[in-house]
Structure 1
């Protein structure tokens, strides 16, 4: 018996078996807590391994499906954001938004993107407000029941090029240009597919003819696509002075579309690092 326990016994005059039972209970509680901690750690590690294995299987399955399709396999680009601890290139996101505004926005909408989303990513708040104000947004009705236009605000969505799908089809020979907000996630091997598609236009093989108003691109299913080639060298002037080659334009718009589909990308990776530190 420890001296502290003996002193407690003498001063409180408790039965000796209660003191022994108290010490035994404390020891048992400590062992249970230790066991629970290790079980929780085991479950966390096991869950992480299952998640990694599932992602690996899904990736392998998607690659197998791509390989068996009737279109060319997209080029595998070593994107800087592919690493487990790599963030998106925010300068590229800004340039990609410039490409979208000056090229893609003529036909494609970004219905899930608001100007406020650009703040702290590729624009300051004041710059984002200016970007929004450059657009006239339909609002209303006013007190007379009429719709009116006003300069855009941070809370506004990026305005679509057409009022509705029928207007979009009428302007594009019956084809409906897809919304680009989530296109990076909506296509297999998203970034690589988009880059390859944008830079992959070429003359069709000898003897191969497509339908009228279609353009040959081996990266598109069936090889023929309604969208004509969109990117050319020096097509726009970047505000940061970057040379606007075709591949640069394509790579930057890919970074922008990657971000628009996964705006939580950088925060998600930060949380993963914190979670790993917790497990270790």
Structure 2
């Protein structure tokens, strides 16, 4: 019996494996479709020129101050920056009195303790305080944002691939779903409460467009506050927040490169001097 059926065992096992594999693919059409939608319509960040790009790049202090203004007036309503202190703003050109005024006038007070009763309390921020969260806790943050948790922005520019270019593209990328998407994937309509943005990984974003019109922020230096300009400025500010020592790193890299070039030249000169006229 085994001798008779033996030649057929391997093909039967192989056929069973192929059927199981086909069933696995056919039983998860929703996941495959979602992946295909993202692959087809997801866009890479737009190229954006920033003054800090490249090995010799430096921050534009005026742009950083404008970017802070956008964060203060728009983004801080939902996003905290728990790793940035008010006194750090002196690094981008604000004076000490200006920093004190910014901290004192911040819309969210800092959690504290009443020194007389020991009960929880709040107080005005000081320059030594970090930017306070606009929400008391994660539950409150989700309750105010349709169960979505706004990420902390302290390291956002380093945590996302392409950093500032990605943030700039995301802020300026909100749009209606293209007709060809719904024609090709009828079940991929953006759910209620989400917003279509092709620069976001899965195309649908819980955050509504934060920059909705030109002139939404009035810049103190007179720069025209277009949506694109505001997005660029806040992207630059978030890059500084994530990497405030970038300029020092660039200077160190240049100095080391010059040192290595000089050392290489001296070593080559010494080699030629020692072995000059000697036969190998």
TM-score bucket of the superposed structures, by smaller chain: 0.7 to 0.9
Q: Residue 68 of structure 1: CA displacement?
A: 6.6
Query: Structure 1 residue aligned with 2:61, among 90, 102, 112?
Result: 90
For 1:148, what is the secondary structure of its paired residue? strand
Structure 1: gaps of 5 or more residues: 1-66
* Residue 192 in structure 1 maps to residue 192 in structure 2: no
1:57-76 → structure 2 map (5 Å cutoff): 71-76=42-47
* CA distance in structure 1 between the partners assigned to 2:61 and 2:39 by the alignment: 35
Q: Is the 8 A contact 1:184 1:190 kept in 2?
A: yes
Q: Is the 8 A contact 1:70 1:222 kept in 2?
A: no
* Residue 248 in structure 1 maps to residue 229 in structure 2: yes
Compute the RMSD of aligned alpha carbons: 1.7
The alignment's TM-score, normalised by the length of structure 2, stands at: 0.73
Stretches (4+) displaced over 3 A? 67-70
For 1:111, what is the secondary structure of its paired residue? strand
1:49-198 → structure 2 map (5 Å cutoff): 71-135=42-106, 136-198=109-171
The alignment's TM-score, normalised by the length of structure 1, stands at: 0.73
* CA distance in structure 2 between the partners assigned to 1:69 and 1:258 by the alignment: 29
1:39-58 → structure 2 map (5 Å cutoff): none
Q: Residue 143 of structure 1: CA displacement?
A: 3.0
- Give the greater-gyration-radius structure (CA): 1
Deviations 1:178-225 (A, max 9, x none): 111100011111111111110011110223511110011011112110
1:6-25 → structure 2 map (5 Å cutoff): none
Q: Is the 8 A contact 1:80 1:89 kept in 2?
A: yes
* CA distance in structure 2 between the partners assigned to 1:120 and 1:261 by the alignment: 13
* Residue 213 in structure 1 maps to residue 193 in structure 2: yes
* CA distance in structure 2 between the partners assigned to 1:228 and 1:149 by the alignment: 30
Q: Residue 151 of structure 1: CA displacement?
A: 2.2
Q: Is the 8 A contact 1:70 1:221 kept in 2?
A: no
